[in-house]
Amino acid sequence: MPGVVGMSRTMRSHMKSQFISWSLSRKFSTDVEFKPIRSVLVANRGEIAIRVFRACTELGIRSVAIYSEQDKMHMHRQKADESYLVGKGLPPVQAYLNIPEIIRVAKENNVDAIHPGYGFLSERSDFAQAVIDAGIRFIGPTPFVVQQMGDKVAARNAAIEAEVPIVPGTPGPVTTTDEAMEFCLKHGLPVIFKAAYGGGGRGMRVVRKMEEVKENFERATSEAAAAFGNGAMFIEKFIERPRHIEVQLLGDKAGNVVHLFERDCSVQRRHQKVVEIAPAPHLDGKVRQKMLDKAVQLARHVKYSNAGTVEFLADEGGNFYFIEVNARLQVEHTVTEEITGIDLVQSQIKIAEGMTLPELGLSQEKIVPQGYAIQCRVTTEDPAKNFQPDTGRIEVFRSGEGMGIRLDGASAFAGAIISPYYDSLLVKVIAHAADLQACCAKMNRALREFRVRGVKTNIPFLLNVLENQKFVNGAVDTYFIDEHPQLFSLQPTQNRAQKLLNYIGTVLVNGPSTPLATKLKPAEVVPQVPEIPLGKNLISNY
């Protein structure tokens, strides 16, 4: 299948050889073995798969896609150099979780490395191990680190060992209401219950009254068991009015680690990020530096390699506390790329090849943020119906464009089918400008240029967020959406062009719908049927 930019094999080979020659001419400061990657399979779909394919194309690397039966017409399949069906007969999501089949496709097609993207298998240590056992490189941390950081208890213990501040909490998973009551009595309220073996806001409850502890614990346990197969809970002291700030890291196989500054992900709905900002506005300089240092300290302690994120909660008093490590690329990595000018996906691939951060020119003093960047996740959800996912065919699609606007998507075109089987992300819109106010104005303008018909989107809600003065001033915390119900006051889309065309068509065919509108009567059209002589060989006429 031809690549997205039609680059020939000869050109890619030439680019790769130039890159290898340049790499080998550098003076290696470590004993890390350099082994070039010639092909990458992305064990994912949609927007993130296309993001990785683009990075591969720019590096002259052959890109390989996998797709489920439901995704056979999906754009990510078309953007890769090669694509292969996986999970035939399996449910839509299970197709992308079929580790043996993904490994088989990779081995049969001489794939050098596998990139997991985000979601699906990206934080499964057994997948990372299976890839390595098959003699294929995994573009991400080591399986041990993926397992350690994916286990909330192990990650918390690692943070304690690395002297990173943590929220007071249970030392291990809690399974009974008696243990939950004991913790609450000892540390006081409020507390938060979190699923010990999963995330995404499921199995999460905040408790502020002692009489509600038992009921909320049982509900959280039941929800976690249904979602992750294990109802064990992790209990922490709840931080009031926190900001959710995460630090982007890059590490190599030689033990070097750098940070690419931080992102503010406080604008959340039901624990799901909606809008992300980089860098975090109005964050005290001393607090920022301490947070960045602690994130790097933790990564060095666990011998972290490749891209990852350390997440913190910051309170109003300048204190911050470790939440978790995401041992993968994040959905919102784009805002960090915009302010630093560093391609995180290409960096991931080069690190997997064996290059070190100094060889990539990524020393800490050279990484300097420029301006502000905002990412809005445009989804096919209807905010007027409690963000119910919408499905169907996109009839009209026109995007916002212009200086400082970046679009990362997969189904953002007229004719695209939005299926109910996967997440509702339509396109990520990223704005970059000199300051936060200019960035908000640029994003606002770009979103207003969008025209999407056929499915509902959350753009009206995003516009309300961007026009909120508290957001424009950068004074947000995780309560922002809950405390601003006016964000849900939505203007219905006018859709004037389609309404006008429908009306004109109706009048032309059926006549006026009111007696006083016009004296025109319905048209009487007698269709002309072309005459076809019987018995004549029609094929011979072509």
Just list the catalytic residues. Answer: 328
Place of tokens 């990362």: 408
Could you tell me which residues come within 8 angstroms of residue 352 by beta carbon, excluding any fewer than 6 positions away? 37, 113, 137, 138, 139, 140, 306
Which amino acid belongs to residue 469? Q
3-state secondary structure labels for all residues of 169-212: ECCCCECCHHHHHHHHHHHCCCEEEEECCCCCCCCCEEECCHHH
Backbone torsion region of residue 38, taken as left when φ is above 0, otherwise alpha when ψ lies between -120 and 50, otherwise beta: alpha
Distance CA 240, CA 310 (A): 20
Query: CA distances (Å), 461 to each of 246, 456, 457, 468, in order?
Result: 24, 11, 9, 11
Instruction: Give the CA radius of gyration of the chain.
Output: 27
Distance CA 126, CA 196 (A): 18
- Cα dihedral angle (390, 68, 377, 78), rounded to 10 degrees? -110
Distance CA 120, CA 44 (A): 7
DSSP H helix total and E strand total for the chain:
17, 22
Query: CA distances (Å), 20 to each of 12, 15, 36, 226, in order?
Result: 12, 9, 7, 49
Backbone torsion region of residue 141, taken as left when φ is above 0, otherwise alpha when ψ lies between -120 and 50, otherwise beta: beta
Is 436 in contact with 375 (CB distance < 8 Å)?
Answer: no
Place of tokens 């590490």: 251
List the strands of the sheet with 306-314, edge to edge.
Answer: 320-326, 306-314, 243-251, 257-269, 272-278, 372-379, 425-433, 405-409
Distance CA 324, CA 313 (A): 10
Q: Specify the DSSP element, H or E, that contains 452.
A: strand 451-453
Question: Which residues pair with residue 171 across a beta bridge?
Answer: none
